Amino acid sequence: MAQKMAITLDVNGTEHEIRVEPRKTLSDALRGDCGLTGTNVGCEHGVCGACTVLLDGVPVRSCLMFAVQAQGKALRTVEGLSTGGKLHALQQAFTDNHALQCGFCTSGFLMLAAGTLEQQPDIDDESLREVLSSNLCRCTGYQNILRAVRQVRDAGKEGAR
């Protein structure tokens, strides 16, 4: 077994000092070592997108990175979306549009959408469909997810935190 390494992860603006083996994925470190279980893990090989987080503002699969690789990067997870007990515009829109049922995929979709709208606030419908096709949802059938994200884009609430 390889030696554990002491690393610091910056998640939602808070520094987490943890000790991990190099083989520990970022998703497992967020959940098991930082105690941030909002990020879900489905397939563990890049297919489902449940584990999507923002790495320096960009959506990535946290199961396809090792935690040691995320040192010095600004990470954001679903726990960082709401502020002072107030839901992020995307969280509210998901609720209003019935864009979740079991919720397993939701944190991944929220982070995917948040990162996308922050970078491309005017993203067109076709590109948005392409981006949202990155993640899997086994419950809602995608239309409501698309509707929720479009609503936030149209309201120009992007990046509202």
Partner 1 sequence: MKAGSFEWHPARSADEAVALLAEYAPQDGRVIAGGQSLVPSMALRLAFPSHLIDINGVEEFARVRVDGNELVIGACVRHAAFHVPVEPGPLGRLMVQVVHDIAHFPIRQRGTFCGSLANADPASEWCLLAATLGARMVAKSVRGTRVIPAADWFQGIMTTALAEDELLAEVRLPLLPEGSRAGFYEFSRRAGDYALAMALVTWRDQGGAMQDVRIGAGAVEVQPRRLAKAEAVLEGRPRGTAAIDDAAAAASAAVDPLEDFHTSADYRRDLVGTAVRRAFAQAGS
Q: Buried b vs exposed e over 94-118: b needs ≥16 C-beta within 10 Å?
A: beebebbeeebbbbbbbbbbbbbbb
Work out the angle at residue 59's Cα, subtended by the Cα atoms of residues 33 and 69, and round it to the nearest 5 degrees.
Answer: 45
Nearer to ligand FAD, 47 or 102 (CB): 47
Q: Is 106 in the site for partner 1 (CB under 8 A)?
A: no
Give the CA dihedral 138, 139, 145, 147, nearest 10 degrees: 130
Q: Is 141 in the site for partner 1 (CB under 8 A)?
A: no
**Which residues sit opposite 53 in a β-bridge?**
60
Return the closest-CA partner of residue 25 out of 66, 76, 72: 66
Provide the mask over 10-39, with x wherever binding to ligand FES is found by CB under 6 A and - wherever it is not.
------------------------------
Q: Is 6 in the site for partner 1 (CB under 8 A)?
A: no
Q: Is 46 in the site for ligand FAD (CB under 6 A)?
A: yes
Residue length of the chain: 161
Chain residues binding partner 1 by CB under 8 A are 1-3, 5, 21-23, 25, 28, 44-46, 49, 52, 55, 58-61, 63-66, 68-69, 112, 116, 130-131, 133-135
**Binding-site ranges for ligand FAD (CB under 6 A):** 46-47
| Residues near ligand FES (CB under 6 A) | 41-44, 46-51, 61, 63, 100-106, 137-140
